[in-house]
Amino acid sequence: MVWDHEVAGSSPVAPTKLDFLKANKDSSNKTMGDFEGTRRPSGDTAPGTNAVEAQELALFDEVFAVEREQDLADIKALMRRIQKDPWRGRLVDESRYEFAKAEGRLKYTDEQVEDGQWEADDLDFVIEVLRKEKIDKYFSTVADKYPQAMPVPDSMVRLDQEADIAEKLRSHMPVLIRGNWRMGKTSMVRSLETHQFGAKHSLFIDAMTEYLGEEESLEDFQNHFGADSVVEFIVEREFGDVKPKDRYPKEDEIKQQMTKSRKSPFEFLNEYLAQKDEEMFLSLDEVVGFIKQPEKMKYLASLKDLSQIRLAIVLHRIASFEDSFQEIFVGYETHFVRPLIVEEVGRLVRKPLDGTKITFTDDAIRRILEFTGGRPMEVNQVCRALMTQFSEHKNYRFSYRAEDIDALTGKKYWELQDAFRSAIDNYRQVYNRSMNDVERALIDRLILEGEVSTSDMDADAVQPLIDTTFVAKDETKGVYRVNGTLFKQVLLGLQH
């Protein structure tokens, strides 16, 4: 490619800034189809589709246009890294720039870059790189708003269930927040703290951070479990405005009071609250870590009797220990975190898109629900797979439709393993460790037959699978089916 005023066979004439602007007029008009992760409309699409695609492409051109004057500094920065020998890579890595410059491998000197003395095809290339960077950054920034397999302290879903649990707690009813791994149990208790009780009146303890080993005696366990958390809770309430370095003496003082009282940390906390005529919300997570130490689990269950504490315990569902759990947690009301309904999936998908031009159609939302079974972690993983820069499934669009979701979820099981690794590992663990033989047989039958009449299965045997979101009951048709095509694909993969 040569400049308009370059004469064939002669030495190139350095372009002026006016030449630069003219030459770039068409270079910035790349469509989204020019970049990996995006698609152009084809000629065989359904009526009206091409018009929609054309609008989408035009919007990409508008949003991600490289402004030649505004982006001149970025253009020059990349132009400096153009190499003489394209076989070594057209752009030298930024970290190797000084080394390449010293070796004389760079195509342009600093003076040539500053004066705009570069070839048109290099300019086209640089503009395309900048445009792609803009697109990658835009969509990856959005993708990062979807949490990865981590608790959410301010959940926007299951709010009706959250309100119901809060009402039970306020009426002095201890509750178990139940479900399998990565279903949103911890998010539920953290959101109860955020939405219902407030940080000043809430204490969250991860039981496994208190674990000192099976050899620890029950008495020692009772004396140490929660001690540091209780001390920090009281100091924060009483001396919250004190500088961190000045809190240590206060913490030591509270610890000494606790020791002298000869009370367990939670008895000490209960007395502290009673003196102030206050109540608080206490949530204990990961108590399943004491599954082989029932006496310690019984102690934690007994905390429900403390008058000033409203207790919620997060407890995994493991079929082989359910009888033991029933004996230990007498007097507790059980709440299994339920699968999301379509409106909640829509909220989970669309809320992070506020302030962007990205949308999901209602049909796309329904497809995500069908694929994930309404499990929040998997919903987030779908969005990340579509929009994360380094995802092999990325498909940059401003309007995601049902067919875009189908293009992702219709892939082979092994193709989805990287994008949905945590969900896939979790499903395997649930099937192999959480379910019993009867439940696995029910799941296997549902996978084989697709749907089974409710009159053909033992309702009591199926109920735990419904509680844990893996089986759905269609009341209208009177059938059971596996909930979530990803879960079904994973189990089919295990069987093969």
**pLDDT single digits (tens) 131-156:** 999 999 999 999 999 998 889 999 99
Same domain? For 325 and 346 the reply is: no
For residues 349 and 61, which has the higher predicted lDDT (pLDDT)?
Answer: 349
Do 177 and 312 lie in one domain? The reply is yes
CATH code assigned at 468: 1.10.10.10
- Per-residue model confidence (pLDDT) at position 496: 60
Q: Give CA–CA dist 228/80, Å, rounded.
A: 56
Q: What is the band of 44 on the pLDDT scale with cuts at 50, 70, 90?
A: very low
* Cβ neighbours of 436 (radius 10 Å): 14
Look at residues 386, 419, 452 and tell me which one is the last residue of a structural domain: 419
Mean pLDDT to the nearest integer, 400-421: 94
203 by Cβ neighbours in 10 Å (0-12 / 13-18 / 19+) ranks as buried
Range name among 2-6, 215-219, 446-450 with the lowest pLDDT average = 2-6
**Rounded Cα distance, 132 and 386, in Å:** 16
Is residue 174 one of the residues assigned to a domain?
Answer: yes
Q: Give the end of a domain, one of 419, 439, 464.
A: 419
Out of 68-72, 240-244, 401-405, 488-492, which region has the weakest mean confidence (pLDDT)? 240-244
299, part of any domain: yes
State pLDDT tens for residues 431-484.
999 999 999 999 999 999 999 999 999 999 999 999 999 999 999 999 999 999
Shared domain for 231 and 367, answered yes or no, is no
**What tokens were used for 270?**
């209960």
Q: How confident is the model at residue 258 (pLDDT cuts 50, 70, 90)?
A: very high
Own/partner pairs, 355-360, CB within 8 angstroms, 24+ separation:
356/138, 356/142, 357/59, 357/63, 357/398, 358/139, 358/142, 358/387, 358/397, 358/398, 358/399, 358/400, 359/398, 359/399, 359/400, 360/399, 360/400
CA dihedral sign of residues 304, 309, 310, 313: negative
The pLDDT, as a whole number, for residue 5 is 31
CA dihedral for 433, 434, 437, 440, sign (positive or negative): negative
Residue 195 per-residue DSSP state = I
19-33, 70-84, 371-385: least confident range = 19-33
The verdict on 348 and 400 lying in the same domain is yes
Residue 10's pLDDT band (boundaries 50, 70, 90)? very low
pLDDT band at residue 54, thresholds of 50, 70 and 90? confident
Q: Do 252 and 312 sit in the same domain of this protein? A: yes
Regarding whether 329 and 187 lie in a shared domain, the answer is: yes
∠ Cα 125 130 132 (to 5°): 95
| 376 domain-assigned | yes
Residue 181: give its domain's CATH number: 3.40.50
Q: Is the pLDDT of residue 47 over 60?
A: no
Tell whether the model's pLDDT for residue 22 goes beyond 80: no
Of 390, 419, 448, the last residue of a domain is 419
349 inside domain: yes
Residues 234 and 328 in one domain: yes
Question: Do residue 358 and residue 436 come from a single domain?
Answer: no
Average confidence score pLDDT of the chain: 89
Which 8-state DSSP code applies to residue 130?
H
**Structure tokens belonging to residue 103:** 């070796």
Is the Cβ–Cβ distance between 148 and 383 less than 8 Å?
Answer: no
Task: Tell me what pLDDT residue 21 has.
Answer: 37
What global pTM score does this model have? 0.86
Give the residue numbers spanning the domain of 310: 159-336
262 and 188, same domain (yes or no): yes
Which of 27-36, 41-50, 92-101, 291-300 shows the lowest per-residue confidence on average (mean pLDDT)?
27-36
pLDDT at 49: 60
Structurally, how many domains does the chain consist of? Answer: 4
Nearest to 335 by CA among 126, 137, 91, 163: 163
Which residue(s) pair with 473 in the sheet? 480
Q: What is the mean pLDDT of residues 282-294?
A: 94
DSSP-assigned letter for residue 283: E
Distance of CA 213 to the CA centre of its chain: 32
Residue 463 lies in a domain: yes
Q: What is the pLDDT of residue 257?
A: 95
Helix intervals (H) in 64-96: 72-79
The confidence band for 6, taking pLDDT boundaries of 50, 70 and 90, is very low
Q: Which residue has the tokens 């809060």?
A: 166
185 occurs within a structural domain: yes
